Amino acid sequence: MKNDFRLTYPLWMMAFIIMLGVLAFGLNSPITEFVNTHNETSFTIKLEALEGFIVLCTIILYFTLLAIFLVRLNKHNKENPAQKISPFAIRPPEYLEQDEGMTFITRKAVQKVYSFITFALPFLATFAIVLPVPRLLIIYGILAIAFGQYWIYYTEVRKHFKGETE
């Protein structure tokens, strides 16, 4: 059970989210800043080559990770024909619902995630409305919430599998 793919599924999603974050940085942060005050004149920094490198590396890493993920998914589906996971399923595949005990653990984790989301989303929306935050920061906010929800779910479920003995 400890090696059940559904248990590690949130970790995969967290890795993909980190990749998206790096990709967002590469695609959204060409720094072209102009400052003209009493004390300063101006300076412009462009990191196009670096950004291009970051984007390229991230895309390669992303597809490598995706390939490994699909291999692991395929392996899980072969080993667990009764509990197949579809990569296109709308229902989160990390739900453990084989019986009432597992459903209880899943429900506890989902409740914690829901509590987090009900706080985090309005907070982010308010933050974005009130402050003139750049687009990249809003993207990072959304990714941070997505990362957070998987982290909460994973740690809550994992907690119950610690110190498993027969």
Least Cα distance to 105 among 160, 162, 38, 37 occurs for 160
The residue within the footprint of other proteins, chosen from 99, 130, 131, 132 (CB under 8 A), is 99
Does position 104 interact with other proteins (CB under 8 A)? The reply is yes
The residue within the footprint of other proteins, chosen from 14, 15, 66, 105 (CB under 8 A), is 105
Nearer to other proteins, 38 or 162 (CB): 162
Least Cβ distance, residue 20 to other proteins (angstroms): 32
Nearer to other proteins, 23 or 157 (CB): 157
Residue 114 and residue 21: Cα distance in Å, rounded? 23
Other Cβ atoms less than 10 A from the Cβ of 157: the count is: 22
Least Cβ distance, residue 96 to other proteins (angstroms): 9
Residue 38 and residue 11: Cα distance in Å, rounded? 50
Query: Which residues lie closer than 8 Å to 154 by C-beta, 6 or more apart?
Result: 7, 10, 11, 14
Enumerate binding residues for other proteins (CB under 8 A). 1, 98-102, 104-105, 160-161, 164-166
